[in-house]
Amino acid sequence: MKKHLLLVCLLVLAIMPAWAQQAKYVFYFIGDGMGVNQVNGTEAYRAELEGRIGTTPLLFASFPYGTMVTTYSGTNGVTDSAASGTALATGIKTKNGVIGMQADQQTPVSSVAVKAKEAGMRVGIATSVSVDHATPASFYAHVPDRNNYYDIGKDLPRTGFDFYAGSDFLNPVNNKAKEEGTLYEQCEKAGYTIARGYKDYRKKSKQASKMILFQSEEASRRDRNSIPYAIDREKNDLALADITRAGINFLSKDNDKGFFLMVEGGKIDWACHANDAATAFEEVIDFDNAIRVAYEFYEQHPDETLIVITADHETGGIALGTGAYAQNLQVLKYQRMSVNKLSAQLNELRRKTANKVTWEMAQKALKQHFGLFGDVKPNERQEARLRRTFESTFLNQEPALDESEYQKDERLATVAKEILNEIAMVGWTSGGHSNGYVPVFAIGVGAEQFCHRIDNIEIPAKIAEAAGLKLK
């Protein structure tokens, strides 16, 4: 009898999954707009920079477990970031535009981050865009409309997570109810210390019980919507790796029950909306650099840590190769700034010359910032198109702007981007989202669950299971 019992016990132990050990530390990285081809394109671009055909793998794409994920929402074949964020946060399909609620736009649903907090874990929500944007908001807010930024912001201190980070609040003041105070005042009243930039974080974090990390006030005055693109980053700009490092540092304080940290690479999506391939690839690399910070933590706690990387949807329908059975991605290295910053440079040129920009001036800007007419030689047709665009938009004309989801760009900058994409043999099918597969990659405790094709609502459920949480 004893031998039989022993054999049963040994059998049970043998078939128990490796993730029976609960994950004490959970990292959940979401690359907004990062479909399969955004990852593959970045790896192919890296290989070409090394002078070879193939791929140079990103760190996260080298993790031992991975699969494909479907992303449709509860009401649409093509999701938006609110519905997909809610799916990734709560395991519930909802209506496009809805955050943290069922499709009825009334019934709130709890996220895996809330469940982690209820279980005693410290919790952080971080992003490269505004902290009240759709994806981060899905983890702490409950609103019927993703554009209700003030209401989303009010839910931030109410939910009471330990650490938040992003560029800023989009709408910190309710002009119809000023007696409520600004969102900054509400957060401070709820016990949050607000830091402006990484240096300020390091100064204030030791004494803080709860923390919000924003970019500097000067940076927010320039653009409160997001931190700068990686390709545009200057010395004192906040970076996603800084945000991730700060999150780990703060959540590790006085920590005996572990932590949950969600980090969004939000501007992959923005670059893809603008069909800006060079900027998108650099954002994916920057996202990988932030994941590397978490991976360094994992190396110190391999038996207690789970890292999951996925995306909310694909953006732009990017195509790698445009019919010539070839790629020329390496030319993208000559693009030294985003199309949005090039647009700002051209606009500044207008201002300095009192709107008397010459073709030679425009050519110089394109050469300096995009490599065109220098290291990258446009053909006769492409040069003629650039010249026509210049003449129609600069010669005694007001700026002609092309609008994508998150930015407005000088038409000459847009055309320069399109020509550089053309030379690189990168195509785009739209300026919006697609229903393409997105990837998921995982390493650590419970990572074995992330194999075979899954839907996005399964991801938070699998994370919850690995961490010993009950999502529903």
> CA 216 from chain center: how many Å?
20
The count of C-alpha atoms lying within 13 angstroms of the C-alpha of 400, restricted to the half-sphere facing its C-beta, is 15
First to last CA, the chain: 40
| CB atoms closer than 10 angstroms to residue 184 | 17
Beta bridge partners of 443: 307
Q: Does 24-320+431-466 carry CATH code 3.40.720.10? A: yes
Which sequence spans correspond to the domains of the chain? 24-320+431-466, 329-424
**Strand order in 305-310's β-sheet?**
192-196, 210-214, 163-165, 122-127, 259-265, 25-31, 305-310, 438-444, 65-70, 454-455
- Give the span between the Cα atoms of 38 and 316, in whole angstroms: 10
- Give the span between the Cα atoms of 103 and 86, in whole angstroms: 11
Choose among 308, 165, 328, 134: nearest CA to 239.
Answer: 165
Query: What does the pLDDT read at residue 324?
Result: 86
Burial of 9 (0-12, 13-18, 19+ CB in 10 A): exposed
Give the helix ranges, DSSP H, for 26-90. Answer: 36-49, 81-90
| CB atoms closer than 10 angstroms to residue 435 | 16
Phi and psi at residue 418, to the nearest 5°: -65, -40
Choose among 34, 24, 12: nearest CA to 310.
Answer: 34
Helix, strand, coil share (%) of the chain residues, nearest 5: 45, 15, 40
- Residue whose structure tokens are 């010669």: 395
- Give the span between the Cα atoms of 281 and 12, in whole angstroms: 46
Query: What does the pLDDT read at residue 20?
Result: 61
- Give the span between the Cα atoms of 86 and 102, in whole angstroms: 9
- Give the span between the Cα atoms of 183 and 204, in whole angstroms: 19
For the range 198-203, what are the long-range contacts, defined as Cβ-Cβ under 8 Å and sequence gap of 24 or more?
Answer: 198/238, 198/242, 198/245, 198/246, 201/246
- Give the span between the Cα atoms of 195 and 189, in whole angstroms: 15
Tokens read off for 342:
């090039």
- Give the span between the Cα atoms of 390 and 109, in whole angstroms: 51
- Give the span between the Cα atoms of 173 and 390, in whole angstroms: 41
Secondary structure E strands in 280-434: 305-310, 314-315, 319-320, 401-403, 408-410, 426-427, 433-434
Q: What angle do CA 283, 228, 407 make, to 5 degrees?
A: 90
Query: Is the distance from CB of 147 to CB of 82 less than 8 angstroms?
Result: no
Query: What does the pLDDT read at residue 81?
Result: 98
- Residue whose structure tokens are 């040994």: 10
Query: Is the distance from CB of 342 to CB of 416 less than 8 angstroms?
Result: yes
Choose among 120, 201, 116, 114: nearest CA to 159.
Answer: 114
Query: Is the distance from CB of 309 to CB of 291 less than 8 angstroms?
Result: yes
Block mean pLDDT (10 aa), the chain, length 472: 46 46 97 98 98 97 98 98 98 98 97 98 98 98 97 97 98 84 96 98 97 97 97 96 98 92 98 98 98 98 98 98 93 98 96 94 98 97 97 85 94 98 97 97 98 96 97 86
Choose among 337, 428, 436, 420: nearest CA to 377.
Answer: 420
Q: What is the pTM of this model?
A: 0.94
Secondary structure E strands in 86-199: 122-127, 163-165, 192-196
